[in-house]
A = this chain, B = another copy of it.
Amino acid sequence: MENEPPAPRPRRRTPAGAAVLREEVTDAIRTAVFEELAAVGYGRLSIERVARRAGVGKAAVYRRWPSKLPIVLDVVSALAVQGLPTPDTGALRTDVRALLELTSRVMRHPMVAQIIPDLMAEAARNEEIAQAVQAAIRDSQRTIAEAVIRNAVARGELPADADIDLAVDLASGPLYWRLVLGRSPLPKGYLDSLTTAITTALGAKES
């Protein structure tokens, strides 16, 4: 027991036999992170609780991610994958209206309504989270807005230089502000008025 040379990396064979990270465990952890994020927020999120919720040993978590931040980045990035469908109803107004309806439904989703504000708050103090959130939310939004506007331009409903940036902010900002801050149901004609405001802002830009 004393003459063993510390084994100069004998030969590590291939990765392994059946001893490989089980995807189901990974998914369980990701789900637990998501739920925990909604329940207590990023600030209070702890690996210990995540593991407990996932029904998993802490070691299983640390085997995959070195710390809290990478896990959250992973989960957030995963959200971006399944983007929202792009409405294509044949007319700008109905496209915008459909988009608003979809957006308001997503923002009302209990889990989303908890997580997004939390991530935005954390993004203000963490550049990596900021980029992940931006990629997951804003970029996908912009893609949708671009498509809707491109279609409208092709139909001659909008001038070619419609302001996409403003459109994106008008389509999400007011809804977010109202739903998160007020948390009251939207007034009756709210989405219609907002639709008018957006289409007018886009079309009347050059007039």
Chain A residues within CB distance 8 Å of chain B: 39-44, 113-114, 117-118, 120-125, 130, 133-134, 137-138, 163, 165-166, 169-170, 172-178, 180-183, 187, 190, 193-194, 196-198, 200-201, 204-205
A90 to chain B, nearest CB (A): 24
A120 to chain B, nearest CB (A): 5
CB neighbours of A172 from chain B (8 A): 173, 177
Indicate if the CB atoms of A163 and B193 lie closer than 8 Å.
yes
CB neighbours of A183 from chain B (8 A): 130
CB neighbours of A166 from chain B (8 A): 174, 190, 193-194, 197
Known contacts A174-B166, A200-B204; A120/B41 CB under 8 A: no
Residue with the highest number of chain B CB atoms closer than 10 Å, among A130, A175, A178: A178
Q: Which of B120, B200, B204, B205 interacts with A181 by CB under 8 Å?
A: B120
Q: Which 8 pairs show the lowest CB-CB distances between chains A and B?
A: A43-B43, A173-B173, A173-B177, A197-B201, A173-B174, A169-B174, A117-B121, A118-B121
10 residue pairs of the A-B complex, CB under 8 angstroms, read A43-B44, A114-B125, A117-B123, A166-B197, A169-B178, A176-B177, A193-B201, A197-B198, A197-B201, A200-B201
Bound Cα distance A178, B163 (Å): 14
Indicate if the CB atoms of B173 and A41 lie closer than 8 Å.
no
Q: Which of B121, B175, B204 interacts with A121 by CB under 8 Å?
A: B121
Bound Cα distance A197, B202 (Å): 9
Q: Which residue of B lies closest to A183 (CB)?
A: B130
A37 to chain B, nearest CB (A): 11
Known contacts A43-B40, A174-B173; A165/B190 CB under 8 A: yes
Q: Which of B169, B182, B201 interacts with A177 by CB under 8 Å?
A: B169
Q: Which residue of B lies closest to A205 (CB)?
A: B193
Q: Which residue of B lies closest to A189 (CB)?
A: B163
CB neighbours of A40 from chain B (8 A): 43, 125
CB neighbours of A198 from chain B (8 A): 197
